[in-house]
Amino acid sequence: MKGEVKWNTGAYTTLDSLWFCLSLGEVKPSKDYSHIAFTIATDKFDVFRQLITKHNMKQWQDNTSEGNSLYILDPDGHKLEIHCGNLTSRLLSLKRSPYQGLEYL
């Protein structure tokens, strides 16, 4: 991740073609299921899981969907998912086991 600019209450950073806005403010983590998911290569997952365990990061949910996933909280309590797979693999799994009320758009 590369820092681009920063100011008193925030910063912009980039990682390849992604960019992130980091803003300081009152932390108010959501109590719903909304979260941000990141894809990780299958061969990196076990090493990542060991790091999560080593650093005692809190997990907020057990994985019940296709592929390996870790559901962790960042230091501010934001919900993150680290997932082996992508949208294609998720959609294929939904053909085998659809969510209640699932509709293809």
The rounded distance, in Å, linking the Cα atoms of 62 and 26 is 28
**What is residue 86's DSSP assignment?**
-
Query: Which is catalytic among the residues 4, 66, 81, 103?
Result: 81
**80: closest CA among 99, 93, 61, 100?**
61
Q: Is 81 known to be catalytic?
A: yes
Map residue 6 onto helix, strand or coil: strand
Catalytic residue numbers? 81
